[in-house]
Structure 1
Amino acid sequence: MKKNTRTNATRRLARIEGQVRGISRMVDEDRYCIDIVRQVQAIKAALGSLEKLLVDDHLENCVDSALTGNDIEARREKVEELVAVLTGRRK
């Protein structure tokens, strides 16, 4: 993982962690359900953004390296791994 990606991912995770704590407080305070749902949606969007960041980094580093290398098995493995994660399957 590139250093810039790690920094951005760590920053995003800290923000998401704060959002989750905020939702916990909202539930404890018996806040309006729709307000809580909106915060859950915001977290889902933030996780999606984090996922995209990590997949992009993986493509630029691991997958690109495997596809330009000579190891056919490594190529196959990276493509299968990527298809599995993008389709929500476990490898």
Structure 2
Amino acid sequence: MRPTARRLVRVVPRKLLNVNDAKIYNRPRPQSEDRKQPTTMDLLFQKREEAGETWPENLRLEPQLKKIVFKEVDPKLRTVLKAMTKER
């Protein structure tokens, strides 16, 4: 007798299956919502403005310089200038 699909299929009672009643989770938030949240630097800038003169002088916040800022600079000098803008 050749094995056919009908002979290979075996009906298993549901009681024998170990099926968990798993909770169906909501889909994750889209990443676009994460971009709308303020960054850590934005929050720190806001705290600094709220603190005013009471903000500690040793905590210095420097905004990130974008690529557009260095567009007009000679390519040979860009790396040197970028290094000068960063605190060591």
- Confirm or deny a common fold (TM above 0.5): no
TM-score under structure 1 length normalisation: 0.28
Larger RCO, structures 1/2 (Cα 8 Å, 6+ apart): 1
The structure having more radius of gyration, on CA atoms, is 2
